[in-house]
């Protein structure tokens, strides 16, 4: 796959419009913050690492046009831009991480002329892109060591090329295992309500020649009962210092099922998804989204009765003790997480 989810092109942010897949591979070009905010909100771009990069380019997009007499004025305006981007979605750690990295780069260089700081911000966003590509490949390298020949892996949502710049976290592990000749097979949970598993994961795995079968989220248990799943691997949106992990709604469901059926449950994520400032999953804010995601299939066909109450959390939290290991860009982290996460990922 020679696709890149996010890049800077002709003074605009160029994104794959993920709401159009798998029907159409289309790009959107974003030249203002409001459009970026909408693109993130509507999940034209999604996936924690991709959101980190999108946020960083968003900060640059705003910063490049700041008119300021001094750093103090520049910084105030940068903070406003950052706060606006940060207000879009609450759960994924990488969104805030991307913003914070950009702001830190500005602060570190506050004695330089404003045009130089803008150039530094451009470079910082470019670095985030480069680092994400490298990070996914390291995750793939470490994770593939856990995969045996012909393993069948269950995943949910999309933690693939489309959730990152070009390779993926959970799917990066599968791609790498495939490159090593291990012939992994995948069951992709369709991932209601927004169907990232059907639209994105099934699409990119098929595109890459991985043996993939689409199932409804509710079918995972039956497959596990039939001993047809060897491992579960998902991505994450935010991981607290103790190893509790917020990820797409339904992940906790799979974690309970995996434990019951004695199947290893792995989370693949870069260091930037870990939020060491947060003690436990209880402190992770969970976004609730539009009821229409359930009651109108893809906002087209109505399927629920008019005015029906809906509970639509976009994420759930899987407690640390369900997680066999974290596959990170700095190696595999095993329990006890409260000790090992800060040891591997702390400053």
Which residues have a catalytic role annotated?
A: 237
- Contact residue for a copy of itself among 89, 118, 176, 199 (CB under 8 A): 199
- If binding is defined by CB under 8 A, does position 29 make contact with a copy of itself? no
- Which ranges in 46-201 belong to alpha helices (H)? 48-63, 71-86, 93-108, 114-144, 170-179, 196
Q: Does 259 bind a copy of itself (CB under 8 A)?
A: yes
Q: How far is the CB of 251 from a copy of itself (least distance, A)?
A: 8
CB of 196 to a copy of itself, least distance (A): 10
Nearer to a copy of itself, 113 or 313 (CB): 313
Sites for a copy of itself among residues 225-254 (CB under 8 A)? 225, 249-250, 252-253
Distance CA 147, CA 186 (A): 12
Q: Which of residues 301-330 bind a copy of itself (CB under 8 A)?
A: 301-313, 316-317
Pairing of the two strands 331-333 and 325-328: antiparallel
Q: How far apart are CB 32 and a copy of itself at their closest, in Å?
A: 30
List the one residue from 260, 279, 282, 288 that touches a copy of itself (CB under 8 A): 260
What are phi and psi for residue 42, nearest 5 degrees?
A: -85, 0
Count interface residues toward a copy of itself (CB under 8 A).
58
Taking CB under 8 A as the rule, does residue 1 contact a copy of itself?
no
Which one, of 236, 234, 237, lies nearest residue 217 by Cα?
234
Alpha-carbon gap, residue 61 to 84, rounded angstroms: 13
- Minimal distance, residue 36 CB to a copy of itself, in Å: 26
Lay out the site mask for a copy of itself across 98-127 (x = CB under 8 A, - = otherwise).
------------------------------
Q: Is 181 left (phi over 0), alpha (psi -120 to 50) or beta?
A: left
Residue 212 contacts a copy of itself per CB under 8 A? yes
Q: How far apart are CA 230 and CA 153, in angstroms?
A: 6
Query: Contact, 45 vs 70, CB < 8 A?
Result: no
Instruction: Please pick, from the candidates 132, 217, 237, 275, the single residue that binds a copy of itself as defined by CB under 8 A.
Output: 217
Map residues 32-71 to x or -, x wherever contact with a copy of itself holds by CB under 8 A.
----------------------------------------
What are 155's two structure tokens? 């995943």
Nearer residue to a copy of itself within complex by CB, 69 or 262: 262
- What's the closest the beta carbon of residue 226 comes to a copy of itself, in angstroms? 10
Give every CB contact of residue 343 below 8 A, 6+ residues apart in sequence.
none
219 binds a copy of itself (CB under 8 A): yes
Contact 325, 332 (CB under 8 A): yes
What are 28's two structure tokens?
């959107």
Residue 161: which of 60, 225, 261, 235 has the closest Cα? 235
Pairing of strands 274-275, 238-240: parallel
Establish if 83 lies at the interface with a copy of itself (CB under 8 A): no
Please give the Cα distance from 95 to 50 (Å, whole number). 8
Q: Which residues bind to a copy of itself, rule: CB under 8 A?
A: 22-23, 156, 187, 189-193, 195, 198-199, 202-203, 206-207, 211-223, 225, 249-250, 252-253, 256-257, 259-260, 294-295, 297-298, 300-313, 316-317
């Amino acid at each position: 796959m020679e696709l890149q989810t996010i890049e800077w092109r002709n003074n605009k942010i160029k994104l794959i419009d993920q709401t159009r897949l798998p029907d159409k591979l289309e790009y959107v070009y974003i030249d203002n913050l409001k459009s970026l905010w909408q693109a993130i909100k509507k999940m034209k771009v999604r996936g924690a690492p991709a959101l980190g990069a999108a946020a960083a380019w968003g900060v640059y997009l705003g910063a490049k046009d700041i008119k300021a007499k001094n750093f103090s004025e520049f910084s105030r305006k940068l903070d406003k831009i950052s706060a606006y981007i940060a207000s879009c979605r609450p759960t994924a750690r990488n969104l805030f991480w991307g913003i914070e990295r950009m702001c830190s780069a500005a602060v570190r260089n506050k004695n330089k002329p404003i045009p130089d700081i803008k150039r530094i911000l451009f470079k910082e966003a470019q670095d985030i892109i480069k680092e994400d590509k490298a990070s996914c490949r390291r995750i793939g390298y470490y994770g593939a060591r856990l995969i045996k020949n012909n393993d069948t892996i269950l995943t949910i949502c999309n933690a693939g090329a489309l959730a990152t710049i070009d390779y993926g976290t959970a799917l990066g592990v599968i791609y790498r295992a495939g490159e090593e000749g291990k012939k992994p097979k995948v069951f992709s949970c369709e991932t209601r309500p927004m169907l990232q598993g059907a639209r994105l994961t099934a699409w990119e795995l098929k595109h890459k020649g991985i043996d993939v079968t689409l199932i409804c989220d509710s079918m995972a248990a039956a497959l596990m009962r039939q001993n047809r799943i060897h491992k579960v691997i998902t991505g994450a949106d935010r991981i607290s210092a103790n190893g509790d992990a917020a990820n797409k709604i339904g992940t906790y469901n799979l974690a309970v099922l995996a434990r019951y059926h004695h199947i290893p449950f792995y989370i693949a994520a870069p260091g930037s998804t870990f939020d060491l400032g947060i003690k436990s999953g209880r402190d992770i804010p969970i976004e609730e989204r539009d009821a229409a995601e359930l009651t109108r299939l893809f906002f087209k066909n109505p399927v629920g009765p008019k005015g029906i109450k809906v509970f639509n959390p976009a994420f759930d939290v899987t407690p640390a003790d369900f997680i066999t290991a974290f596959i990170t860009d700095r190696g595999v982290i095993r329990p006890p997480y409260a000790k090992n996460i800060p040891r591997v990922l702390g400053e």
